[in-house]
Amino acid sequence: MHVVVEKKLMSEKKITRHDIGRDAFVAEVWNWKLKHGSTILQQLRRLGASLDWSRECFTMDEKRSSAVAEAFVRLHKQGLLYRDNRIVNWDCGLLTAISDIEVDYIDIRERTLLRVPGYENPVEFGVLTSFAYPMEEELGEIVVATTRVETILGDTAIAVHPNDERYRHLHGKHAIHPFNGRRIPIICDEILVDPAFGTGAVKITPAHDPNDFNVGKRHNLEFINIFTDEGKINQEGGEFAGMPRFQAREAVTEALKKKGLFKEATNNEMRLGICSRSKDVVEPKIKPQWYVKCSGMGKQALDAAVDSENRKLEIIPRQYTAEWERWLENIRDWCISRQLWWGHRVPAWYVVYESDKAEDFGVLDDRWVVARNEEEARAQASGRYEGNFQLIQDPDVLDTWFSSALFPLSVLGWPEDTEDLKAFYPTSLLETGHDILFFWVARMVMLGMTLGGDVPFTKVYLHPMIRDAHGRKMSKSLGNVIDPLDVINGVELEGLQKKLLEGNLDAKEVAVSEEGLKKDFPKGIMECGADALRFALVSYTAQHDKINLDIKRVEGYKNWCNKLWNVVRFSLSILGNDYVPPSTVNPDVFPFSCQWILSVLNKAISKTVLSLESYELSDAATAVHAWWQYQLCDVFVEAIKPYFSGNDPKFASERGCAQDTLWLCLDNGLRLLHPFMPFVTEELWQRLPSSGDHKRETSIMICEYPSIIECWTNEKVESEMNLTESIVQSLRSLAKESHERRSAIVICRTISDWKIICSHQREIETLAHLSSLTVMNEEDGFPTPTESDGYVMSTVNKNILVFLNVPRVKADPETIREKMERLTLEREKLWLMINSPGYKEKTNEKIQQANTDKLQSLDGEIMSLERDGNNLLGD
């Protein structure tokens, strides 16, 4: 919010936060929060998030702020929080240190020109500049190389490897700084220096490089800061003072050339740190900051997830446990102070005497008083310091992750020992994005165990990150950010473009964004509803790390919602207004299709429940969708339609069974689908007739989730339906797109298949849209075409062939000959492959069977052509 409001002030009023002062700026941020802060809550409500909204809170409210101050004080008293002068990621535009998570890295392979905020011309990166330092005592020169030549102004040493013979004569000697005459010691450091890389000599700038900082500590070097907070060369830069850092880069290079010290500039691969918020190049800079000691807390958090004997925390998916280990095994102390104005003010006060200089503020560590409030700080200071002094609170604020890390505790009333804390801490599950596993999750665990005495939750489910359909990270500057409300409600292209103008993008970014919107959403976004968006997002979770969200897929699920609505409405018409569901059913007396749909419903319930319990949400969604679409809609509803076409008394028993089965399917199926599509399932479930034997729940939301009913499972029926569906599918393929009812013949090679097909002849006729079906044995021979009719054939499996009667079509002899040649050649190739050496050993059984079936099918087609002489249909 800090950055958003600051950009807003600049774009609208051409002023900065410094122009209006801290209090006025904070007031502006609060106003923005009150106006826009509820956006995400509106999105959650429209998406159907089932939350206890009475517990809504904000990390900056009074209770959470009090918890933050308490945590700071307690950690400081325990020796886990301290102040130190170290290298930080400094943003010269935001004028603050930023956390590692706010740094995006660009991999640069060679000389590259990039736009940098505040610079009119592009800045050159990916170049390694070599230059020489002249040595004292007429020892010649020593050549070093750097990608940041401007930092020469802060060099305080040159390091070589102690075993590098090239520089052994220079050990303990000094080079002369070419711009200020400072004596630069030649030091030996085997940790940093690789003799085989470059010249084997490394310039050391302890105040502006993390590795050099460590060298400076090891060798007690001088730390010289050469940059102002705004990124300009300060008074240490001599003739370059006042220059912006990247202009100084060019000026220093030219000055080295004039002095004859410049050697060369070559392409160099590098990683460039960019602030994710301001897009400025991050500058490593030494700054006094507040730190949390993380080694002990990190070890606790690590063991909580990986200690096999005392594991308290499960990370899902498991693959992220390795990342958890990698971070926590190499954890460094956490810099928690930020030089911003919006946030929790650091609860620490500095003791200032009248004789102190302004630039000395905060320098002496023993002058800092950590307390919950100024009154407590004054009481502490009065007992430690004499004379007249003032207390000035640290102007910095705390890293937002610090207050966020306390959330599992503070939301339940900590530091007070509340009833909520006793009842709900630790909580059961945290669900969040995998990108903040370390920055938020690990810190919640560390502070939760340290301040709360236990892990804050026992499971962590990490969802994928949503990107656009092209796999790009969503960014306002690219115009590819998708508001879920726009998907739910629908929006025209003009509406999407209007939102760009309401943001803080500059004119160039708006133009780029508009082009992106025109390309991806030329007609805007169709109204899809929350159910379709939810189902699409859940289905995508199989990707684990990222979701490339294609709105067309959401539109597809919107259409499926319509189909769901239609099939339930049609089913209700079958049930009728007077239908009363039974209290119990006996599937054993039900028709075949009714027994089958209940059995496969059991399997769908089992798969869905097991998948949800193991957090395989995509598998759960797939199981529910497949049952509704491919089993209930495509098969069962079609199979029972003959029972209700007319009022034939011979179907009286079947009608009642089908109605009872249909009601069971709708009731269980809607409850099974409800977590994925809460709105449409609630609406449809409310329309279902209710049983008179028990009180109906007021909402599907509070109904029991479906569970397996053992007596519904029937493997024999499922096996027979699998065979039935295979025959139906073969016949439908032969019919192609025709809806004309035709007769068909099934030829069986086994008596067991013949019996099954005969017993389910009605279902095959109905589902394959046949006028009649004849079931024959192989001994009965093949069907004979007539003058007006012929047959097309397909192989169902090695024991079953199907023939579909089709109108006779004339074909010329040339067409017949070409098709015969093509099929014969295809059969010969397949036969040779099947009979080739090692085929059975190298090919799995499923592929072997498929190839065998294909060979039989080709044999049948060739036989039909030879016998009938007319493109499979006879002459």
Give strand pairing partners of 467.
Answer: 473, 548
Given a contact cutoff of 8 angstroms between Cβ atoms, the answer to whether 302 and 329 are in contact is yes
Which residue has 């002030």 as its token pair?
9
Please tell me the distance from the alpha carbon of residue 170 to that of residue 186, in angstroms, as a whole number.
7
Q: Under 8 Å CB-to-CB from 120, ≥6 apart: which residues?
A: none
Mean pLDDT score, 785-810: 79
Residue 443: the pLDDT is 96
Given a contact cutoff of 8 angstroms between Cβ atoms, the answer to whether 663 and 656 are in contact is no
Give me the chain's average pLDDT, please: 90
pTM tops 0.85: no
Whether omega for the bond prior to residue 426 falls within 30 degrees of 0, making it cis, is yes
Mean pLDDT score, 366-387: 93
Given a contact cutoff of 8 angstroms between Cβ atoms, the answer to whether 83 and 368 are in contact is yes
Mean pLDDT score, 433-458: 95
Using CA atoms of 867, 868, 873, 874 in order, give the dihedral in degrees to the nearest 10.
180
Residue 246: the pLDDT is 97
Please tell me the distance from the alpha carbon of residue 136 to that of residue 138, in angstroms, as a whole number.
5
Higher pLDDT residue, 102 or 437?
Answer: 437
Please tell me the distance from the alpha carbon of residue 58 to that of residue 55, in angstroms, as a whole number.
10
Q: How confident is the model at residue 809 (pLDDT cuts 50, 70, 90)?
A: low
- Amino acid identity of residue 425, one-letter, is Y
Tens of pLDDT, residues 220-276: 999 999 999 999 999 999 999 999 999 999 999 999 999 999 999 999 999 999 998
Asked if the model's pLDDT at residue 874 lies above 50, the reply is no
Mean pLDDT score, 396-423: 95
Asked if the model's pLDDT at residue 539 lies above 80, the reply is yes
Tens of pLDDT, residues 618-628: 999 999 999 99
DSSP 248-270: HHHHHHHHHHHTT-EEEEEE--E
Mean pLDDT score, 524-540: 95
Minimal CA–CA distance to 184: which of 216, 209, 161, 213? 216
Indicate the DSSP class of residue 798: T
User: How many other β-carbons are positioned within 10 Å of the β-carbon of residue 469?
Assistant: 14
Mean pLDDT score, 340-364: 90
Given a contact cutoff of 8 angstroms between Cβ atoms, the answer to whether 579 and 659 are in contact is yes
Tens of pLDDT, residues 818-830: 888 888 888 888 8
Q: Sheet harboring 742-748: ordered strands across?
A: 770-777, 742-748, 800-807, 789-797
Q: How confident is the model at residue 452 (pLDDT cuts 50, 70, 90)?
A: very high
62-66, 502-506, 843-847: range with highest mean pLDDT? 62-66
Minimal CA–CA distance to 86: which of 240, 347, 278, 292? 292
Which residue has 């003959």 as its token pair?
642
Q: Under 8 Å CB-to-CB from 201, ≥6 apart: which residues?
A: 142, 143, 144, 158, 159, 160, 167, 193
Tokens coding 756: 């099954």
Mean pLDDT score, 862-875: 55
Residue 810: the pLDDT is 59
Asked if the model's pLDDT at residue 728 lies above 50, the reply is yes
Tokens coding 403: 């207050």
Please tell me the distance from the alpha carbon of residue 553 to that of residue 469, in angstroms, as a whole number.
10
Asked if the model's pLDDT at residue 302 lies above 60, the reply is yes
User: How many other β-carbons are positioned within 10 Å of the β-carbon of residue 281?
Assistant: 23
Asked if the model's pLDDT at residue 872 lies above 50, the reply is no
Tens of pLDDT, residues 176-203: 999 999 999 999 999 999 999 889 999 9
Cα angle 114-120-126, degrees, rounded to a multiple of 5: 25
Tell me if residue 652 falls in helix, strand or coil.
helix
Residue 869: the pLDDT is 57
Residue 871: the pLDDT is 43
Asked if the model's pLDDT at residue 870 lies above 70, the reply is no
Residue 875: the pLDDT is 39
Tell me if residue 397 falls in helix, strand or coil.
strand
Minimal CA–CA distance to 603: which of 706, 460, 693? 706
